Chains A and B, each alone.
Chain A
Amino acid sequence: MSAILPPAERLWWKHPLDRVEGTWIAIALIWCLIMFFMMVGWHIYGKQNLSTETYKTTPEKFSAHAQAMVDQYTVRTETADKTPVVAPPAGSDIYMIARLWSFWPILELEKDKTYRLHLTSMDYNHGFSLQPANINIQVVPGYEHVVTVTPNQSGTYSVVCNEYCGINHHTMVGRIYVK
């Protein structure tokens, strides 16, 4: 009875299984369940879980929030485009706009303090890829994603767009400072 011929035993579901198969199925099943409960367990005990807090938004509404934050907390500007560097207080709502082809503004955060980071896109899909920490989040237009972040190391972080967003996609990079 070959795999390319009909099974000789009509009742193939009664075909005995070898010990090697039974043993492996048992081991594999246990491993599958461990992996499943690991994900669930990390939601209870782990400290890195992606928030699901999401609101519908529009570019106008989101820009207004971001602009208010920039107006209130800008500490300096950087680069030839005079991109504002914003240092909002710990625990506050902070905004980062993704658009063709930049992240705006630059944020300055404090180590071990928690912030509510609001993300959205003004146009296409973008990717929020925080480097070198390597945290990657999808940024979808029309949806405001609120992610609670607690930087655990000081330094200069880059935000690289890692969702293809058109011809200048590779020039889309922003920055977050952690003091």
Chain B
Amino acid sequence: MSTTTTYRTCPRSGLQFEANAEKLMLANAVAAVVFLLIGGILAVGVTLTRWPAIHWLQADTFYQVLTAHGIDMLIFWIIFFEIAVLYFCSSTLLRCRLATPRLAWLAFALMVIGAVTNNVAVYQGGSSVMMTSYVPMMAAPSFYLGLILFAVGALIGCFIFFGTLVIAKRDKTYTGSVPLVTFGAVTAAIIAVFTIASGAIILIPTFLLSVGVIDKVDPLMYRQMWWAFGHSSQQINVAAHISVWYAVAAIAFGATPMSERVSRGAFLLYILFLQLASAHHLLADPGLSTGWKVVNTSYFMYFAVLASMIHGLTIPGAIEVAQRKKGLTKGLFEWLRKAPWGNPVFSGVFISIIGFGFLGGISGVMMGTEQLNMLIHNTVYVPGHFHATVVVGTTLTFMALTYFLIPVLFRREMIAPGLARWQPYLFGLSMYFFCLVMMGAGTLGVSRRHWDMAFSGHALAYEWPGVAYLMMGLVGIAGIAAIVGGAIYIYVTVGSLLWGKRLDEGAKSAQFTPIPRTAPSAAVQSYGSMGFAAPGTFSLAMVFLVAFVLYYFINWKYLSQLWGLS
């Protein structure tokens, strides 16, 4: 399908936006923010109910709200935003037209219809089955149908992304290889195709079960296939937000990757090994062999963890090298002290990197260690972990990216820049604390997805230690602080879109301007100290490693004191 279109060069960023792609990015980003808003309102109900002193909602409402919160945040908010990111990384970064824009609108429509259908099913009350919807517990048919429609739409979005890469190659809008950020987006899109295919394999039979066409879906098979969808969808996030980290390092600092080979190699490791992590959810299950569990849960010898540890070094490392080039070479950390901490694009990403690594990364490996999983499976440690990865990691990164996109893509002056400056700190740091105390409560065994930790009136009631109640109270306080932070983000974003001063859209042309060839860079080794280009980052990485090693063996010590199990 060939269409006439125009290309706009943004006067503020130099990025070139194709008209169709721009509208689609805008639509997908706005839909994402709407679902973030809905999910955020639902979060109030979840938080105030799990705060033991408040215990706000009734049980049935709580389970309903928790189901909707999980799906709206983990699936709809993030994937809508990711489709926008995919279009940005293909059409905008490669300066080409978007493939089949009409199909892209169809994909968008399917996603919206699916998301709304699923939400309506949950609010009607018969589908409080949690995001995981484990059979044989059944939701309304429209619950599954909504998810399937959404997934089909997202799948079309991924193929439009691949098609756009083909167009860029054919039209020769660039020479050589795609940029690193696009390479990361390719990783995310490949993982997304795997994810959505897995979702289809299990959700379609479950839908047929719900309407009575087939009479059984094996519960264990469901769990295995569902997690190939449920966990992998979060791996799309990892690949996507790490790509955004590289992009922000480039945009905010002009940083160049320390080594293209290392960073791309790490993305390649993701493509090969990240998906095995679906096994993390099945470590406490019957019926799967030890060999299967060990090989899969460790991403075949932790190669995906290796990749994450590499990105964790190379992104701050690239920033450090760029800052040192600008003369900020004093000591180990002048480059970091004098970073633009008042710019929410940078501060959001930096808070995200640190939190994702220290809180999300380390806790994820604990849970994913076959034996240690027995200490953690289905306790609130699990949501503690994934709020660190998905909220501190992905959501905060997407928030930071939005602050960059408001003037560039939305062409509006940001309203309330003072509020925006503080937002990543309020949101990010309260989420740090939220995750920490939640993992603390989980270490004491407190269950996730549980309305009443007091077991009020039950003859066999279990009494959690006082510290567990304290921790869950702190979860409530931190949760409310984070929700305020989220509300500020929504206010700034939506407010800027509605009332922000319109900005100049820049020169338009009917033709794309190819990306000029860049001059080869000097080797990075010319800066830094001790023969290291980024000694500050390296010392931070060593702090990370020490925390990781200590916490890892503390958990083994804890495990060794349990009942004998064999």
Interfacial residues, chain A to chain B (CB-CB below 8 A): 1-10, 12-21, 23-25, 27-29, 31-33, 35-36, 38-40, 42-43, 46-52, 54, 78-81, 83, 106, 114, 119, 123-125, 127, 129-138, 140-145, 147-152, 158, 160-171, 173-175
Contact = CB atoms under 8 A, between A and B. Distances in A.
Contacts of A173: 455, 458, 460-462
Given A13-B264, A136-B376, 9 more contacts: A1-B260, A3-B246, A12-B260, A23-B532, A32-B305, A49-B566, A129-B445, A158-B462, A170-B451
**Interface size of B as a range:** 35 or more
Interface string B278-313: 000011111111100010011001110110011001
B321 to A, nearest CB: 8
Interface of B: 59-60, 63, 93, 128, 130, 134, 136-137, 174-181, 218-220, 223, 246-247, 249-251, 254-264, 282-290, 294, 297-298, 301-303, 305-306, 309-310, 313-314, 317-318, 365, 369-371, 373-379, 443-445, 447-453, 455, 458-462, 464-465, 515, 517-521, 523-525, 528, 531-535, 537-538, 541, 545, 548-549, 552, 556, 559-566
A18 B288 CA distance: 42
Nearest to A21: B262
Contacts of A136: 284, 373-379, 445
A4 B247 contact: yes
A140 B181 contact: no
A15 B261 contact: yes
B298 A36 contact: yes
Contacts of B128: 167
B220 A143 contact: yes
B564 A140 contact: no
B515 A6 contact: yes
A52 to B, nearest CB: 6
A49 B387 CA distance: 28
Chain A to chain B: the 5 pairs with minimum beta-carbon distance, closest first:
A150-B564, A145-B286, A158-B462, A32-B302, A162-B447
Q: Is the interface of A mostly helix, strand, loop or mixed?
A: mixed
Contacts of B455: 170-171, 173
A77 B473 CA distance: 36
A31 B246 CA distance: 25
B556 A27 contact: no
Contacts of B303: 32
A170 B59 contact: yes
Given A125-B137, A129-B445, A140-B286, A134 B260 contact: no
A39 B465 contact: no
